[in-house]
Amino acid sequence: MLADINEDEGSLKGGIEAFTEGSLRPAIKKFVDGHEFPADLFREFLSLGYMGTAYDPDYDGAGLGVRGSAIVTEALAAAEPGFAAIYLCNSAPMTAIARYGSDELKRRWLAPLCRGEFIASFGVTEPHGGSDVASIRTRAVEDGDHWVLNGAKVFSTNAGTPLHGVSTIIAVTDPDKGAKGLSTFVVPVGTPGFRVGKASRKTGWRIAPSVELFLDDCRIPKEFMVGQRGEGLKQILTTLSIGRILVAAAALGLSRKAFTLARDYGRDRKVGGRPIFENQALTFPLADAMTSMHAAELMIRNAACLADAGRDFRRETSMAKLFCSEMAGTIADLATQIHGGYGMFEDYEVSGLMGEAKVLQIVEGTSEVQRLIIARDLVTS
């Protein structure tokens, strides 16, 4: 356990766990089995006031920073990783508006998001390759006091759900300026020309739909640009870096869930009359898992502290995301293995966790992209 979780963070964790134990865990299985967005359960979560955990109290947040959001994400993922996905994908647009938006934009969009009146999605990834964010093609062109957006995004999580109220979209405003020609826009649901595609079933984040977004001559007021024209890439890189801390936290929560399922199953399981945990072939990997989870907790906390202190945190964030998401894959695999054949049946909660862990190695920058960031940093620093 970490010594420095303060009183506010302790009560935050307690509050989320009361929700996960009292409401989420008892009800979530049918949504996971049906790959269905749990609208009423998420509405209940919104009503508890945790969506603004990280953000400024002036905009109805709780002011607990990235450390607070990481605590929320980990606790939700320990109950159901897909539920944590809804929370963390909503955080990315909130972070962009909170860090770079005008006061007016924050009052109009951040404050109601903090109050949980609706949720947000973000649209960065495009069909021709998400790993290179600088290659975005969606176009934004000035027309009087409006911007007109045209293009398409893929995999936008939370979009199209009954709770979806707004998206942030990255688009090219100045094609001749390359990576410095990108800007971020707030696009409200219901804007003419803004359309959401159909959700397909996925093997991870099963309850959180990730869909296409279409922008066809979509006109939005000029003041809905987030921050300055041309700042889009800088904004994405920072927003994604913070998002990666939350993905790492989700991976830790998922790992705790897999670990607990493995330990509880293995303690009771006898083969040929002998408890399977008499075999160190099974308990040594669990000891390794426990050690890795402890390291993960420290890495997440460190990256979140750096982000909250306004210090450079990009390398630490990538290391935390890489380590934690790879760890989640290893521990989910181990937990399934300890269940033997039963681990392949959907009646057993462990069965879906390998898919849930895999998503975390892809979203907000794949493991390869994290290695690229770390490697570039070690060569240039």
Ligand X SMILES: Cc1cc2nc3c(=O)[nH]c(=O)nc-3n(C[C@H](O)[C@H](O)[C@H](O)COP(=O)(O)OP(=O)(O)OC[C@H]3O[C@@H](n4cnc5c(N)ncnc54)[C@H](O)[C@@H]3O)c2cc1C
> Catalytic residues, which ones?
364
Task: Report in angstroms how near the CB of residue 85 gets to ligand X at its nearest.
Answer: 7
Nearer to ligand X, 119 or 293 (CB): 119
> 3-class DSSP state for residue 154?
strand
E strands in the chain? 119-123, 139-143, 146-157, 164-172, 182-188, 194-196, 210-221, 225-226, 270-271, 274-275
Within 152-171, the residues that bind ligand X by CB under 6 A are: 155-157
Nearer to ligand X, 63 or 355 (CB): 355
Stretch that binds ligand X, among 69-77, 312-320, 336-344, 362-370 (CB under 6 A): 362-370
Nearer to ligand X, 338 or 353 (CB): 353
Stretch that binds ligand X, among 57-65, 67-75, 222-230, 363-371 (CB under 6 A): 363-371
Task: Report in angstroms how near the CB of residue 361 gets to ligand X at its nearest.
Answer: 9
Q: Give DSSP secondary structure letters for 335-367.
A: HHHHTGGGGGSTTSGGGGHHHHHHHHTTTTS-H
CB atoms within 10 A of CB 261: 21
Residue 143 is classified by DSSP as E
Within 195-254, the residues that bind ligand X by CB under 6 A are: 202, 205, 210
Within 70-99, the residues that bind ligand X by CB under 6 A are: 89
Structure tokens at 309: 């202190």
Stretch that binds ligand X, among 54-62, 73-81, 229-237, 358-366 (CB under 6 A): 358-366
Task: Report in angstroms how near the CB of residue 257 gets to ligand X at its nearest.
Answer: 18
Looking at the DSSP bridge assignments, the partners of residue 148 are 141, 219
Q: Which of 220, 124, 207 is nearest to 158 (CA)?
A: 207
Residue 68 is classified by DSSP as H
Task: Report in angstroms how near the CB of residue 67 gets to ligand X at its nearest.
Answer: 23
Q: What is the phi/psi pair of residue 90, to 5°?
A: -70, -30
* Per-residue x/- track, 306-345, ligand X (CB under 6 A): ----------------------------------------
Parallel, antiparallel, or unpaired: how do β-strands 164-172 and 210-221 relate?
Answer: unpaired
Site for ligand X, rule CB under 6 A: 89, 121-125, 129-131, 155-157, 202, 205, 210, 359, 362-366, 368-369, 372
